[in-house]
Structure 1
């Protein structure tokens, strides 16, 4: 955090016309070891770019992405042979962000009404269950509205066992 409680962005990226700040991390587990790396900035605004980048990563273990967008919401995405498993922390984000709308579109879920102020996730809450994060625990993390998305992702990383690797990457990105 910056003085006065302001949050430092990890980077500013251009969407169509408006800047989007955030964090895009690729996570790989191979031979019992975790690795975290930055994804291309386009992953924050283009779901197809994020999926394509993750699919290019060759691994015999788990590969998934963690996106935190504009301190508003996060997306977990995990390519699978038959498609991609997705989880969007707040479906209402689809009203303001194309990438969130694209997630709902792939999930075949209608966006909430404009006046709906309830936070509800969309997608597969069990997307990381085999890595140590059951759906019920992910729901608890999503429901904690006092946390920023990057803090929620840090909790997810810690629960799955790669918290230190994730924290190191965040430190590098903030420098």
Structure 2
């Protein structure tokens, strides 16, 4: 296993992570059997790619912010915080993923913990997360961070609420 140079943290997207980001996302897409063609445009103009993902932007009809989870030169995953819920509450406040090479090492748990602190700073007292019922790893991550199951939403996903003050 690679020894990381420092504890990973959420940070704004950065051009300094170009190679690690592109390799990590490509490995993740291949592992999932997903289309990775979007990475071509990102690789050709990474500065513009990063610029489009930096700062508070309207996504899904609400203000949201994208973060990368990284340690030094190593990109480990991405996380988005929606500053408010969408009308249908689909996706909740926080969405995250750890790229395949870095999965099952506790990074998602630490990433979500840091996101809950950011949510508290935004005045979000209870964060909603939604998880596919077959995603046991993500369910465990949410529960480790204090997630309390609510119900199944209209998209068939499990809903969990987390008190951000406990983060």
| TM-score (norm: length of structure 2) | 0.29
| TM-score (norm: length of structure 1) | 0.28
